[in-house]
Structures are given as C-alpha cells and as structure tokens.
Chain A
C-alpha cells in the first residue's frame, strides 16, 4: 500500500465515520483506530518564512486537500497552554497556526476551531501566545478560536489502553471530521521531550496532574483515542531546557524547521534525534506508542521528504 492509497483510504474512512456519526454517536466509533499503522512518511521543510514552511511541508504530503474535504469541521490543536509570548517557545508559533487554518479554509472546511485545554489561565494563554489574534486576524467567520467549555468533556473508555482505561476527552475533538495536531517541540522535565503525542494532554479533561504518574503509558493510551489526521510539528524554534513552561529566551534555539506527517510516533522519534540529539529508545512514551501500534519509531524506517 503506497502513501496515496493510504491517504485515500483514510479519507474514505473519515467520510464513512463522519456519515455514521451523523446518525448516531457511539463511543466505539470514535475510538476506532486505523487497522494498520499510519505510513511513516514525514515532510521536512526548512527556511525562515514560517508560513511558507507550513505550506511547503503540507504540499509535500499531497496538499491540505488530501486531509480536509469541503464542508468538513476541523479542529486545529496547537500548544497554547502557557501564558508566554511567542519568542519564549512555550507555545506553537502563531504564524504556523494561522497558516494551517488558512489552508484548511482554502480546502473548503465548513468550520475550523482552534482550541487547547490550557495550563495557565486560558484567556491569558490564548492572548499572549499570539495565536488568538493571529487566527482572528484572518477575518473569516469559519475560523474560530474557542475556549474549552467544561460541559463538553465526555468520559470515554479506551479498550486497548494498558493504563488509561477511562478518562474524559473533549467532545469537539472527538466529533470533528478532521483533527490537526500542531505541537511545538520542547524540553519537558518528566517526559524529557514534548512533541506530537504529548500535546494530546491539551485535548483531555479531568485532573490532569494525575496523568503524570505513569505518564508515558498514559500518553500512549490517550493517543489510541486521539488520532490526528495530520500532525505538524513546529520546530521553527525549540525549547532546549526549562520546559515545558520555560520563560527565558536563552532556553530557545532557532531551528527554522517544520515537520509534517500522519504518524505521530514517527514525528516524535524523528524530532527526538534530529532536534534534540536523543534516541527514540530514551523516550518512554515513544516506546509505549510503538508497542500499541500507533506508529513507527525506527528512524531507518521513516521516510523523509525534504523540501
């Protein structure tokens, strides 16, 4: 099965799921995982115009129209958990998020919701990350930046999970036709690094501190349910220490990179080696994710399309 065929199948499956969801809302359907591992193909774009980087990376994967069909509802989930300004590298770069939203709109999305379940006060984090203003600046009524609504957390069971059997998840993300994960690459004290898989912490509810005991398995488990159609890792600048909140510009290294793909494990594995010089085997949740069949962690099996 080649990439194109895979993407077509994913799209068909998504449409099927979307159609099924219109009739009913069975939790099992939401938890439906692709039978096979996603293709470990990553697009790597490098340059200083971050909007172009995003466009190029997605183009290399076949363009946003591969991932978003007309009239679909898309949730874009950046990391905007912290009351920190863009240069501190604690949140996804606003230019990256804005470009992704624009591409979704160009692909004909009916609605693009940008949201994150923040750590700091959501109003402060949304504002000072620069993301709220950047997306609202598109001035398209289809693109909205929404605060998390506590009523929308629904309890879900994850049958295949090894540790996180039951937890509360954000309904809008589960229900969306398309889910695009836009993490930022950062140092993280307990998890060591946070990129694609760890970013799902912002898509869940409950007492999230409790997830941190047995964190690696829990991260892998929640990714069984939260499967992004597309992941775009913001490595325009990365935080190398003091993460995940940082706060000192000296912790930040400019890398001018954007990595896109559909395999979150491959993205995390590749980011671990390329960006931080560590090995995927050092990272608990990458191993656990690989074991659960969420993706590929062997660097040699990951195909890189450099742009």
Chain B
C-alpha cells in the first residue's frame, strides 16, 4: 500500500451514529416498486372499454427532464406535463443521482440482468475512460436539438425500455403463451380443465386482447441484448457510459447536497472500490468520491466493515471535477450541430416516402420529427396494431418514430388513444371530431389489382368498411370484360379524395393479397 497523502488521513473516527443498515433493502424495494409501476402502466396502455384512458400511462415520461430539455430546445415550446420532471431535478440537487439507483426501470432491469450473468471481476480500466461518452452524447443531442433534430428518443432510457417492451418482449411473451395455450386447447380435456382457467385469468390480466406484431424486431432485440450483455463487462455499463439521462442527472448531482463520507478511500481498507457498481470511487480512476457518478445504491455503506461510510448533508470538502472539460462540451455540442445536415441528407434528398403515413392529427412531418421521442406508447396503445416503428427509410432521423401501416392495422375512426398517451404531444390531442376530419393520407385504387376492375366481379369490401359519412369510397356501375372477354356490369369503387381521411381500413380489409388493391398515400393535403 502506498503512503497515504496527508489530507487522506486520518481514518476518521465518526462522532456520528452508525447509519441504519436497512437502507439497501429500502432502495431495492424502491427499485422493485418503480419497475412494477412501469410494467403496470405499460399494461394499462390499452383500450379498456372507454374512450378515455383512466391511468396516466405516460407518468414516467413526465418525470424525464431530458425529454423536457430536448423538446424545449427542438421546438421552442414547453410541454406543461413534462414540467413535473423539474421535481426530480430539484430532488437530485438535494440528494444526488437517486433516479438511476432508486427509480430507473432500465437500471433495475440491468441490475437484474447482471445477477443472471453472474459477473465477478474488477472493472476493466477502459470503462472509466468511457464515462465521459455519456456527456458527449448528451451535448450532441442538445446541440442537434437546437436545429430541430430530436434524436433523444433513440437513447433516452425510458423510451428505449418502453419500446423494447412494447415491440419485442411483450409480443414475444404473448405469442409464446397464446401458442402454448392453443396447443393445450387442441389436446382438449383433461388438460384444458387446468389450462383454460389459467388462460382466462392471464387473458384478463397480462395478455393482450389481440396478439401484437411489430416491425424491426431484430434491430430492437440486438440493441437491447447489447446493452444487457454489457453487464458482463462492467456493472451498469450503459448507465455509466452512454445514458444521456444519467449524464444530465450527473451534471446536477455534482452539486448535490448529500455526500458520501469519507470522500476518499480509507488507506487501511478500500472495500468501497470493488463494491461500487458505478466506479464512483476508485483509488486510481476516481480518488475522490464522484457524486456525479454515484447513484446512491448505498452498497458501500452496507458493506463497510468498519461502519465508517455514511451519507450526510453538507460538507465543505472540495468536489472532484467532472470527466468533462469546457472544450469537450463545446466540441460535443458543435458535433451535434454539424451532424444535423449530415444526418438529414438522407431525408432532405427526397420527399417522404409516398406510403409513409403518420399517426392521426399529425399535420407536419418536420414538426412531428422534432417532437416524437420514439417511446412506443402509441404502438402499445393502438387497438388495431396500426402504429409501427419506422426503420431507416427516412434516415436516422426517422428511426423508431411512429408510422401507420394499414396492412397491419387501421386507424379506428372513433379512437383517440394514441394522442392521449403521447408524452410530448407529437400526436396532438385533438377532439374526436377534429381528429376524424384530419387526413393522414388519401386512398387510391390500383385498377390493375382491384378485383372488379380486373376480373369483372363485384367486391366493394373497401366501400363497405369506409367509416366516413358520406363514405369516401363510392361506386358506379360500369362494364368490364370478364375472363371470357364478355362485358359484364359490375360495381366499380372510386375514391372521393375530399372525403377520404386515410384511416387505412380499406387497405387493411382489401381481399387482394400482398399489396392491397387500394392503398393510402401521403395526401397532397399534407405536403406543400
């Protein structure tokens, strides 16, 4: 052991009482509580027999200051419901980065993954170098936001976790369970005496009404597994190195009033170092306890063999510098600004894809992109599964933003659930009558695929389902040659573009397989 520096000694004899041992248990219960709350709110984000959701299913997002900051920068306007997050910022100023250690459902999930992966090695030194990356990412995001490029949803831990749950974990779980119970149902009694009541119970509680399917499953899975398996390298790798929300809380927590004592590792012990999952205290890498990194898990207090560790308010010991200089902040923010045109080149080069439809009420593609936080709440809540994550078609700009895919689902005429759950108002909360009059696109009939036009036989499924009154799809009797060349009178569907709102039920129900004979295009009314 090297000689102790003068200011590091003496191993203090505290006149204070020994801290209470139960705090770690309380912290774990808090983590469990918030994870459960997150899951319960996730399950509640569904149609429940009434037009308005009773549960505040976007609650976690309202407490996310990163979304507030990014949204304000990107749009210049403040979403009132997001102001709740200032409460957490205030609390962080008081006690530190408690959100990451006590609340964050992704953090708790990663703690769980680490237990499964059973890692028992000291942190490799590069982990400490990577700590600053999260700050770079934060300033990069903020820099880009100034120029209306809002990428926060790609990295925000709540968005990331919710959309992973919504688009892969929950669909896989429900698919698996549905298949298992369907198999049991096929086998019949006596198995069904047990399986059917269990199935009925699950259907009433956790299973979705209809089996969800979502696009981009492999990409989503890869991202999530990468983050989870990084727990093998070092605990809370994601939180330490990449999480921009963690970075934001870290910047605030640096000035937290609550601080760990002793500030340095005791020369005669140093047990805190292997215990700390954030590497907030380390003989070489973090000689002074870094409150910007500390997530108040209190493991150090729990494990201190000499009962010296305690968290106390106040104190005058100087605080360690952040892993971040002014120069890096400017560089990262500038990189964010500079990246805007590069990331936009893809989407600037052409107008949005002809078949890229946005959720109901979205009037402007640019405004939508500046506001969507890619959380996946609308995917989860959409009763028909119409809202789907967008891939790379619009560049990184559009990745995981919400799109309407009529072949997978259609927009229910009387439903406004997506606008009720959207945490930033990217899907505007419009009165039902306004939503019903806001076009998402316009249907058009492909005469080379449509059954009456090509086969000379009646169909009209599209017209039958068209929800507007009067219907946007009407028909006239026309003569069409049948397959024998004989002219027959059939009912030929036609679209009235002035009436069509692009809900997509026609495309969804069209009996022509593969590409439907009637499809919804981005409307001329949407683009100037």
Contact = CB atoms under 8 A, between A and B. Distances in A.
Interface of A: 83, 119-124, 127-128, 147, 151, 188-190, 207, 209-210, 212-215, 242, 244-248, 251
B491 A83 contact: no
23 contacts: A83-B413, A83-B414, A119-B465, A120-B412, A121-B47, A121-B383, A121-B415, A123-B47, A123-B209, A127-B49, A128-B414, A147-B209, A151-B185, A190-B458, A190-B491, A210-B511, A212-B458, A212-B459, A213-B451, A213-B457, A213-B459, A245-B464, A247-B469
A124 B469 contact: no
B471 interface: yes
Most buried by B among A207, A213, A244: A213
B461 A124 contact: no
Contact of B412 (A121, A212, A213): A121
B509 interface: yes
Most buried by A among B182, B466, B468, B469: B469
A245 B458 contact: no
A200 B383 CA distance: 25
Nearest to A251: B469
Given A189-B491, A207-B511, A124 B412 contact: yes
Given A83-B413, A209-B510, A189 B464 contact: yes
B479 interface: no
A248 B470 contact: yes
B414 A189 contact: no
Contacts of B182: 151
A190 B413 contact: no
Contacts of B49: 123, 127
A103 B350 CA distance: 64
Interface in B450-501: 451, 455, 457-461, 463-471, 475, 491
Contact of A245 (B47, B466, B475): B466
A212 B517 CA distance: 14
A284 to B, nearest CB: 9
Given A124-B415, A248-B469, 8 more contacts: A119-B465, A121-B415, A124-B47, A124-B414, A213-B458, A214-B457, A242-B471, A245-B465
Given A121-B412, A245-B465, A189 B510 contact: no
A123 B383 contact: yes
B511 A209 contact: yes
A181 B59 CA distance: 46
Contacts of B471: 242
Contacts, number: 78
B384 interface: yes
Main secondary structure of the interface of B (DSSP, over half): loop
Contacts of B510: 209
A207 B470 CA distance: 26
Given A123-B383, A207-B511, A245-B464, A215 B412 contact: no
Nearest to B493: A189
B455 A213 contact: yes
Q: Could you say which interface size class chain B belongs to?
A: 20 to 34
A121 B460 contact: no
Main secondary structure of the interface of A (DSSP, over half): loop
A151 B178 CA distance: 10
B406 to A, nearest CB: 14
A244 B467 contact: no
A253 to B, nearest CB: 15
B496 to A, nearest CB: 13
A247 B468 contact: yes
Contact of A189 (B47, B457, B463): B463
A124 B49 CA distance: 7
Contacts of B414: 83, 124, 128
A238 to B, nearest CB: 16
Contacts of B451: 213
A190 B457 CA distance: 11
A124 B464 contact: no
Contacts of B467: 245, 247
Most buried by B among A83, A207, A251: A83
B468 A189 contact: no
Contacts of A119: 465, 509
A147 B47 CA distance: 14
A153 B186 CA distance: 12
Contacts of A151: 182, 185-186
A213 B415 contact: no
Most buried by A among B384, B459, B475: B459
Contact of B469 (A83, A189, A246): A246
A125 B418 CA distance: 18
A136 B191 CA distance: 30
Contacts of B465: 119, 245
B174 to A, nearest CB: 13
Contact of B460 (A120, A207, A212): A212
Nearest to A88: B469
A215 B461 CA distance: 11
| The 10 A-B residue pairs with the shortest CB-CB distance in the complex, in nearest-first order | A209-B511, A247-B469, A248-B469, A190-B460, A209-B461, A121-B383, A210-B511, A212-B461, A127-B49, A151-B182
Contacts of B185: 151
A40 B457 CA distance: 32
Nearest to B460: A190
B452 to A, nearest CB: 9
Nearest to A210: B511
Contact of B475 (A123, A189, A244, A246): A189
Most buried by B among A123, A209, A242, A244: A209
B277 to A, nearest CB: 44
Contacts of B468: 247
Contacts of A212: 458-461, 464, 511
Interface in B240-276: none
Contacts of B458: 190, 212-213, 215
Contacts of A127: 49-50
A247 B463 CA distance: 13
Contacts of B455: 213
